[in-house]
Structure 1
Amino acid sequence: MKLKLPTRAAAPAATVPAQVGTPGTRGPKGTKAARTKAKKKKLKKRATEAEAAEATATPTERDPRIRWALFNGGAAAAGHLAIWSVTGDPMAGTDFMARMTISVPELAAAGLTFGGLVAGWKGAGLVQLHRIPGLFGLAARPVAAIGAAMWGQGTAPVVRDAMYAIEPWGTTLAPLLAAGPVAAALWWGLDRRAREAAPLVRWFARVPLATVTVSSLLYAPGVVL
């Protein structure tokens, strides 16, 4: 009688786990990269939308040239309306400029007189004449200023002859010679001092200068033609 020995069961085949990150599979590394890329794309889209919204919401600035024209044009109009209300003539500023143009030699002599007064006083100080001891040092500045002013007072005939010599340029430049010193004095005395003041104060300070400028511009074409 034969005995049957028990047979050993075959061991099950070992299963090999799939490798992570191999081509064709979506492992943890590939998923993280995709999420990072999508997040960056989303943030970039939000930033672009925010910039577009900010650009749309920003108000447009006014052109400074238009503001300058309104500021000076309004000042000139106010000055001419004031002259019109006082004289009854809307072109009274132009007539006044014509009288000034005829008196250019006298106005030039007045300007040279004042300029000579200042130059004589300053010149004596620059050469240190006032430091000379005695009476001469005390009188150096006044004498120099008075002498230069007397020279300027007698320059009207010289200016008139010079204008006749350069005709027709003398007649063409006469309005500028008449209005230039007046405009410079108004700028120095009023407009420059009100530079840091409130806008309304600066506008009122600009009225005389704008009025003189526009009056000269209205008068000049007639002289040229």
Structure 2
Amino acid sequence: MKLKLPTRAAAPAAPAKVPAQGKKKSTKAARTKAKKKRLNPPAATDTTQAAPAAAPEAPSVQDPRIRWALFNGTAAAAGHLAIWSVTGDPMAGADYMARMTISVPELAAAGITVGALVAGWKGAAMVHLHRLPGLAGLAARPAAAIGASLWGQGTAPVVRDAMYAIEPWGTLLAPLLAAGPVAAACWWGLDRRARQSARPVRWIARVPLATVTVSSLLYAPGVVL
């Protein structure tokens, strides 16, 4: 009787190897493809929307010089219409300016008096007269102001003589000397204070200044001629 010897199990078959040449070809093709992609990148797609066409420009704003002329011209016209309605004379503003021009020495003396009053009050304070003891300190500034104003009231003949001495410049400058303080008072008291107000308020505040200015311009040619 023959004994059967155990046979060894067959070894599993080894996996088939990829040919090295095919592997090299696939690696080389991938590198070539990547190189071409780097050299020739795909065109970037513009995802943003196209900018809208520029809107037509609005008509340019009015010239500031024209606005200034209209603002002041209408204010002067309103002032002259008011004077005309009260006096019945369309040239009443120029007539008032003529009267003021004749009274230039008196007007100048009034201005000098006011200036001397302020100067006397402040001058007494600058030299510390108000620090004097007793009643003298209390009366120092009022006394200095009153004394300076009394001196200013007597300057009208001096101004008249000075104007005669510089003829014909005295006659030519008389309208300016008459209108200048009045225009300055209108600007200081009304126009300057309404600078930050609404436009209608500023227009109303400009009426006196514009009226005085135009009245002086209407009267000045007659003086020159």
TM-score (norm 1): 0.80
Q: Does 1:27 align with 2:37?
A: yes
Whichever residue aligns with residue 33 of structure 2, its letter is: V
Whichever residue aligns with residue 31 of structure 1, its letter is: P
Q: Following TM superposition, by how much is the alpha carbon of 1:124 offset from its aligned partner in structure 2, in angstroms?
A: 1.1
- Quote the residue 2:194 is aligned against: 194
- Quote the residue 1:174 is aligned against: 174
Q: Which residues in structure 2 correspond to 1:74-223 (within 5 Å)?
A: 74-223=74-223
Percent identity of the aligned residues?
74
CA distance in 2: counterparts of 1:140 and 1:27, whole angstroms: 101
Whichever residue aligns with residue 214 of structure 2, its letter is: V
Superposition RMSD on alpha carbons, in Å?
2.4
- Quote the residue 1:224 is aligned against: 224
Whichever residue aligns with residue 135 of structure 1, its letter is: L
Q: Residue 27 of structure 1: SS of its match in structure 2?
A: helix
CA distance in 1: counterparts of 2:163 and 2:105, whole angstroms: 9
Whichever residue aligns with residue 30 of structure 1, its letter is: N
CA distance in 2: counterparts of 1:147 and 1:17, whole angstroms: 114
More helix by share: 1
1:89-145 deviation digits (Å, cap 9, x = unpaired): 111100110111011001000111111111111111122211111121111111110
> Which structure is larger by alpha-carbon Rg, 1 or 2?
2
CA distance in 2: counterparts of 1:96 and 1:68, whole angstroms: 26
1:70-102 deviation digits (Å, cap 9, x = unpaired): 111111000000111111111110011011101
Contact 1:84 1:91 in 2 (8 A): yes
CA distance in 2: counterparts of 1:141 and 1:217, whole angstroms: 41
- Quote the residue 1:69 is aligned against: 69
Q: Residue 20 of structure 1: SS of its match in structure 2?
A: helix
- Give the gaps of 5 or more residues in structure 1: 1-10
Q: Residue 60 of structure 1: SS of its match in structure 2?
A: coil
CA distance in 2: counterparts of 1:60 and 1:216, whole angstroms: 35
Q: Following TM superposition, by how much is the alpha carbon of 1:219 offset from its aligned partner in structure 2, in angstroms?
A: 0.9
- Give the gaps of 5 or more residues in structure 2: 1-18
Q: Following TM superposition, by how much is the alpha carbon of 1:30 offset from its aligned partner in structure 2, in angstroms?
A: 1.7
- Quote the residue 1:17 is aligned against: 29
Instruction: Count how many residue pairs are aligned between Structure 1 and Structure 2.
Output: 201
